[in-house]
Amino acid sequence: MTGEQVLTAEQMAECDRHTIEDIGLPSLVLMERAALAATDVIVKQMSTNKVLVVCGVGNNGGDGLAVARLLWLKGIPVTVVLIGNPEKATAQTKTQLKVCQYYGITILEALPELDTYTTIVDAIFGIGLSRSVTGKFATVIEQLNAAAAGKLAIDIASGISANAGTVLGTAFKADVTVTMAYQKIGQTIAQGPAYNGDIIVADIGIYQDDHSIEG
């Protein structure tokens, strides 16, 4: 049911919508499954000595905040950096932020010294990236790329166009990408493959051909 097809951002967003609105699975359920899948890869394939999760304010950031909480609950040293205005965050990301605050997880507004971190998780932009990355977002991504830590991207390497596979200004260079439900076309063409690292497709309950028996 899942995994083989390669979708555009629009097709992925439609699958997301169909699952939430037509089938009725709440968005936070999908986000939690995405976070559980990414956390499983981090624990199995990356160093968990000291983890930095860098989050945007869209739902990609929400995935990252949920990953940070799951790592924290496993006793893994984790710090969050939230890049962007939290007031502009999506409802799901605001919820995840509140949960991280409940647990007292450190949430920074700017990058710390990176050389003590052993793993960096990129949850800045996902398939909602809509224009060239500039300003503080570009600076942050370039600083992350210069760090020695292992690098994992949530859903898609931030800065890579989900449809064209081009680098929009600058992009996170991942060792591993955990992508939700299906690979995005931009991960298979142009510069996408050079920035994904190893791609792992996570089954989070979203299926393109998933329609009711009447449908």
Stretch that binds K ion, among 3-11, 12-20, 90-98, 149-157 (CB under 5 A): 149-157
Stretch that binds ligand LP7C6HRI, among 46-54, 68-76, 112-120, 126-134 (CB under 6 A): 126-134
Residue 209 to residues 14, 138, 212: CA-CA distances in angstroms?
12, 37, 10
List Cβ neighbours of 101 (8 Å cut-off, separation of 6 or more).
107
In the list ligand LP7C6HRI, K ion, none, the entry touching 30 (Cβ below 5 to 8 angstroms by class) is ligand LP7C6HRI
**The binder of ligand LP7C6HRI chosen from 2, 7, 11, 30 (CB under 6 A):** 30
CB of 19 to ligand LP7C6HRI, least distance (A): 7
List Cβ neighbours of 61 (8 Å cut-off, separation of 6 or more).
55, 82, 84, 89, 93, 96, 123, 124
CB of 30 to ligand LP7C6HRI, least distance (A): 4
Stretch that binds K ion, among 22-30, 46-54, 59-67, 191-199 (CB under 5 A): 59-67
Whether the CA torsion 186, 59, 158, 116 is positive or negative: it is negative
Query: 3-class DSSP state for residue 25?
Result: coil
Does 122 bind K ion (CB under 5 A)? Our answer is yes
| Element of type H or E holding 201 | strand 198-202
Query: 3-class DSSP state for residue 101?
Result: helix
Cα 200–chain centre separation = 12
Confirm or deny that 155 is annotated as ligand binding: yes
- d(C-alpha 118, C-alpha 75), whole Å: 15
In the list ligand LP7C6HRI, K ion, none, the entry touching 170 (Cβ below 5 to 8 angstroms by class) is none
Going by the DSSP 8-state scheme, the letter that residue 116 receives in this structure is T
Q: With respect to K ion, which residue has the nearer C-beta, 1 or 194? A: 194
**Which pair of tokens denotes residue 82?**
């939230």
- d(C-alpha 166, C-alpha 190), whole Å: 6
**The binder of K ion chosen from 11, 158, 170, 196 (CB under 5 A):** 158
Stretch that binds ligand LP7C6HRI, among 54-62, 67-75, 108-116, 144-152 (CB under 6 A): 54-62
Interface contacts to ligand LP7C6HRI, rule CB under 6 A = 12, 16, 30-31, 34, 56-63, 90, 125-133, 137, 154-155, 180-181, 204, 206
Binding-site positions for K(+)? 60, 122, 158
